[in-house]
Amino acid sequence: MSQEQDPALIAHLAKKGIDDKMVMGHPAGLFILFFTEMWERFSYYGMRALLTVFLITEIAAGGWEWDNADAMQLYAWYTGLVYLTPLLGGIIADKFTGFRKAILLGALVMTLGHLSMAFEGIHPYFFYAGLVLMILGNGLFKPNISSMVGNLYPDSSSKKDAGYTIFYMGINAGAFLGMLLCGYIGEKVGWHYGFGLAGVFMLFGMLQFYFGTKIFGDIGAKPEKHTKEELKKIAEESDEEVLAPNVVRDRLVVVGVLMVASIFFFFAFEQAGGSMTVFAKDYTQRILEGSTGTIFKWVDAILTIFPIIIVTWVLYGLGKKIYKAYPLTIIFTAISFVLIWILGIWKVYREFSLEQTEVTVSWFQILNSFFIITLASSFSKLWEKVWNPSGPVKFAMGLALVGVGFVVLSLGANSIPQGATSASVSMIWLILAYFFHTTGELCLSPVGLSYVSKLSPKRLAGLLFGLWFTASAIANFIAGMTGSYIDEISETYSMSTFFLIIAAIPMGAAVILLLLNPKLKKMMHGIN
């Protein structure tokens, strides 16, 4: 859809003083946020891919040799707090700094966190200090960049869901590259190099955002403080209708229900960095020989280079539109891409020069992001042009699909004897599980961000995005703590039973959500 075919979007951009240049039918500012978020997710997921495997790896190989339960519990606390602090970050932005300053400050603090973790070999305190800085920086960054995406579009625009899906592609492009490169370098070169590399690209993300902030017009420049009368006048003059209290209440109830549903989804989904990492390390066949090893090298090479080509093409499209007005934004992003290309080609060359093929533990986590990158545009077109069911139905689909992924893992683990501490299960089970998890994520996560934006009063947007991530905090904490029982449940019952328990919970939530769908649709009062 061209710019001329969406008059509501044109009027909204003009009203907010946003640069009206369009890329792929969306405001160019969306892609500034795309790349900023991409490098932040590179840093977060690059570090997360290493966290559990670093903790449980033997001391002789540079790890800390923790047992699975202790590693899972630290993982639970870290990932839980990472998603809890956005609640505070949203309030700070709403009341004091505005979205832009909060994003920049958060990016700076996270860069310092990665720098600290790079010195983990000198003293463990550097590792723990880095985790704390990552938690605090993410709190300032995460809810506010999501809020800015929503503010680029009027609620009436059919492009809003599609815009969030494109933004979600940026999230997963960064996650993919972070897990791929930081994970590989951390496991095969040195842990501190992997931790430090993540911070380099966080710095580039901060710089490209800083030099492109004018493209957003009035959005996020400062917190808006108004009296009730002024808020009413602003609402009347903007594209936000004046809502009756019961409409606001009903919509907030729907947001609350979707947040609770997301807890059941991410409880299962976030096993990726915990129990699924343990399964990949100790129970999956990762040494490949002969033709199988050669095939994997070629597949891995394609998985490495193909996503870099895609995001480079996106950068080229953005550069054509905004380079003259925002040259430093494009220059810093281009420099970061040159480094990514160098690292990607080096990785591929190094693997082909080795006789034995050993799949890294962190490699499996890239599958989620790879499937996101390849499938995101298809889901965006599905919602925009083919079939656009209500938010609760999309959420139910996501919950069911993540459950299917764990049913697959349960089948794969069926051959592992009760209480076994190692096995050599085929990689195909993890690959299939990540495929189903990804399709479920595309039905739920970007849709959730969009619905929080559409159903929330504008003055509470930052707070409610913070609450959305608070739900993720609860889910991550439960996921990590549940993962810490993997050995106990496997010894008492079986590994297959452990994964079947994980599968049953989101599937049950999906059924409940479908039953509630008619009532929830009415309570959205026209928002779909």
CATH of the domain at 117: 1.20.1250.20
Q: Which residues lie closer than 8 Å to 393 by C-beta, 6 or more apart?
A: 514, 517
Residues 341 and 396 in one domain: no
Residues 298 and 258 in one domain: no
Residue 236: what pLDDT? 54
pTM of structure: 0.84
CA-closest candidate to residue 43, choices 102, 99, 115: 115
Cα–chain-centroid distance for residue 180?
A: 15
Residues 378 and 473 in one domain: yes
Q: What is the DSSP letter of 121?
A: T
Residue 171: what pLDDT? 85
Please indicate, yes or no, if residue 161 is contained in any of the structural domains: yes
Range 238-245, long-range pairs (CB < 8 A, 24+ positions): 238/15, 239/8, 239/11, 239/12, 239/15, 239/154, 239/155, 239/156, 240/155, 240/457, 240/458, 243/457
| Helix 98-117 with 28-56: angle, nearest 10 deg | 30
Helices (H), 57-97: 68-92
Buried b / exposed e along 40-58 (16+ C-beta atoms within 10 A): bbbbbbbbbbbbbbbbbbe
Q: Which residues lie closer than 8 Å to 206 by C-beta, 6 or more apart?
A: 36, 104, 107, 108, 111
What is the 3-class SS of 88-112, one letter each residue? HHHHHHHHHHHHHHHHHHHHHHHHH
The total number of structural domains that make up the chain: 2
In degrees rounded to 5, what are phi and psi of residue 287? -95, 115
Residues 275 and 373 in one domain: yes
Please indicate, yes or no, if residue 193 is contained in any of the structural domains: yes
What is the spatial distance between Cα 474 and Cα 477, in angstroms, rounded to a whole number? 5
Residues 454 and 498 in one domain: yes
Beta bridge partners of 295: none
CB atoms within 10 A of CB 504: 15
CA-closest candidate to residue 457, choices 260, 262, 250, 263: 250
Residues 329 and 415 in one domain: no
Burial of residue 79 (number of CB atoms within 10 Å: 0-12, 13-18, 19+): buried
Please indicate, yes or no, if residue 231 is contained in any of the structural domains: no
CB-facing half-sphere around the CA of 142: CA atoms within 13 A = 29
Residues 451 and 523 in one domain: yes
Categorise residue 5: left if φ over 0, alpha if ψ from -120 to 50, beta otherwise: alpha
Cα–chain-centroid distance for residue 365?
A: 12
Decide the pairing of beta strands 287-288 and 357-358: antiparallel
Domain boundary among 334, 358, 382: 358
In degrees rounded to 5, what are phi and psi of residue 425? -75, 145
Domain boundary among 358, 389, 409: 358
Q: Are 22 and 166 in contact (CB under 8 A)?
A: no
pLDDT tens digit at each of 528 positions of the chain: 344 467 888 888 998 899 999 998 899 999 999 999 999 999 999 988 899 999 999 888 888 899 999 999 999 999 999 988 888 888 899 889 999 999 999 999 999 999 999 888 888 899 999 999 999 999 999 888 988 998 899 877 778 877 877 887 888 889 989 999 999 999 999 998 998 998 899 999 999 999 999 999 989 888 866 556 655 655 554 445 566 788 989 999 999 999 999 999 999 999 998 999 999 999 999 999 889 999 999 999 999 998 899 899 999 999 999 999 999 999 999 999 999 999 999 999 999 998 889 999 999 999 988 888 788 778 878 887 888 899 899 999 999 999 999 999 999 999 999 989 889 999 999 999 999 999 999 999 888 878 888 888 877 776 787 788 889 899 999 999 999 999 999 999 999 999 999 999 999 999 999 999 999 999 998 887
Domain boundary among 358, 376, 410: 358
Residues 468 and 488 in one domain: yes
Q: Concatenate the DSSP letters of all residues of 382-415 into one string.
A: IIIII----HHHHHHHHHHHHHHHHHHHHHHGGG
Residues 335 and 474 in one domain: no
What is the spatial distance between Cα 444 and Cα 353, in angstroms, rounded to a whole number? 41
Please indicate, yes or no, if residue 9 is contained in any of the structural domains: no
Residue 1: what pLDDT? 39
Q: Are 202 and 39 in contact (CB under 8 A)?
A: yes
Residues 382 and 456 in one domain: yes
Residue 314: what pLDDT? 92
Residues 460 and 382 in one domain: yes
Please indicate, yes or no, if residue 216 is contained in any of the structural domains: yes
Please indicate, yes or no, if residue 234 is contained in any of the structural domains: no
Buried b / exposed e along 408-447 (16+ C-beta atoms within 10 A): bbbebbeebeeeeeeeebebebbebbbbbbbbbbbbbbbb
Q: What is the domain range of residue 469?
A: 244-286+366-527
What is the spatial distance between Cα 478 and Cα 472, in angstroms, rounded to a whole number? 10
Residue 327: what pLDDT? 95
Range 299-304, long-range pairs (CB < 8 A, 24+ positions): 300/348, 300/351, 300/363, 301/348, 301/351, 301/352, 303/180, 303/366, 303/370, 304/180, 304/344, 304/347, 304/348
Residue 512: what pLDDT? 97
Residue 25: what pLDDT? 87
Please indicate, yes or no, if residue 267 is contained in any of the structural domains: yes
Residues 218 and 277 in one domain: no
Cα dist from 263 to 103, 118, 425, whole Å: 25, 32, 30
Q: Are 44 and 21 in contact (CB under 8 A)?
A: no
| Structure tokens that stand for 390 in this block | 């209500």
Please indicate, yes or no, if residue 230 is contained in any of the structural domains: no
